[in-house]
Each structure stands twice: as structure tokens, then as C-alpha cells.
């Protein structure tokens, strides 16, 4: 099972997120990710850590000025079905307007995927079984 955590703080105190996420490394040693958001301006910044796939283009956690943001989501990933970096979390819509981190497996993903494709949505995961 993956690990997720986050901080929402209007006083901009998000620096502990790295330590919080590392405490749950045993829940997801395959990847780690962060998204920092300023809920007033809508600005966001993705970051990775030591366990983030090097092929993903994002800055590292220590490069983020946490005091510029009031919300952060973090995840530790245990890769089971999709072993590629396409399963990196936090995940977003194409332009970063919505973000999600979650823990668990979606067992009826095939049916949901087809319903959403019929509605015009696309998927980035590369190796999910049919």
C-alpha cells in the first residue's frame, strides 16, 4: 500500500513535508513525489526526492521555497500494476488544474477507463494490463 500525506497551513509552514513523507518510505519505496500549491494564486510546483525516477523532469524537494505555498501533497509509491514512471504521484490533469494522491488499487479500472475514454478523457499510464 502506498503512503500519502499533506499539510495545509495558511501560515506557510510546509517545510516538514519531506520528513513526514520519509517516515512512511516503507509503504512505498518505489517512488516519491510532492506538489506545492499556493491556493490564493493557483501557482503550483512539483518536486521529487531521492526515490523519484530520474527520467521525470521536475526539481528536487530541496529546491522548493516552501514558504511560497500554503498546501502540499506528498506520496510514497508502491508500484504494483503500472511499474513505469507514468504512475508517479501526485497526479494531475493535463494543465495541473486538479491534483490527486491516493492509496489503494482500483479493481474495476478497465470498466472505468472505457467509460471515461468514451467521454473524451485520455490516460497516461503506459503498462496497465488490458
| pLDDT score for 47 | 95
Full-model pTM: 0.83
Q: In the predicted model, is pLDDT for residue 124 greater than 50?
A: yes
Question: How, if at all, do strands 59-60 and 44-48 pair?
Answer: parallel
Q: Is residue 67 part of a domain?
A: yes
Name residues whose C-beta falls within 8 Å of residue 96's C-beta, 6 or more positions apart in sequence. Answer: 44
| pLDDT score for 46 | 93
Summary mean pLDDT of the chain: 87
Looking at residues 96-104, what average pLDDT do you find? 80
Q: Is residue 38 part of a domain?
A: yes
Total structural domains in the chain? 1
Q: Is residue 117 part of a domain?
A: no
| pLDDT score for 94 | 66
Burial class from Cβ neighbours inside 10 Å (0-12, 13-18, 19+) for residue 84 reads: middle
Q: In the predicted model, is pLDDT for residue 129 greater than 70?
A: no
Domain interval for residue 86: 3-104
Q: Is residue 110 part of a domain?
A: no
Amino acid at each position: 500500500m502506498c503512503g500519502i500525506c499533506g499539510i495545509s497551513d495558511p501560515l506557510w509552514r510546509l517545510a516538514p513535508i519531506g520528513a513526514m513523507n520519509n517516515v512512511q518510505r516503507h509503504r512505498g519505496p518505489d517512488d516519491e513525489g510532492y506538489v506545492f500549491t499556493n491556493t490564493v494564486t493557483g501557482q503550483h510546483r512539483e518536486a521529487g526526492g531521492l526515490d523519484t525516477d530520474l527520467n521525470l523532469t521536475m526539481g528536487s524537494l530541496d529546491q522548493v521555497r516552501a514558504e511560497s505555498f500554503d498546501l502540499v501533497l506528498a506520496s510514497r509509491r508502491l508500484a504494483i500494476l503500472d511499474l513505469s514512471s507514468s504512475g508517479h504521484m501526485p497526479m494531475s490533469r493535463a494543465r495541473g488544474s486538479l491534483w490527486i494522491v491516493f492509496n489503494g488499487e482500483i479493481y474495476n479500472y478497465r470498466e472505468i477507463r472505457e467509460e471515461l475514454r468514451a467521454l473524451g478523457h485520455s490516460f497516461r499510464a503506459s503498462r496497465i494490463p488490458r
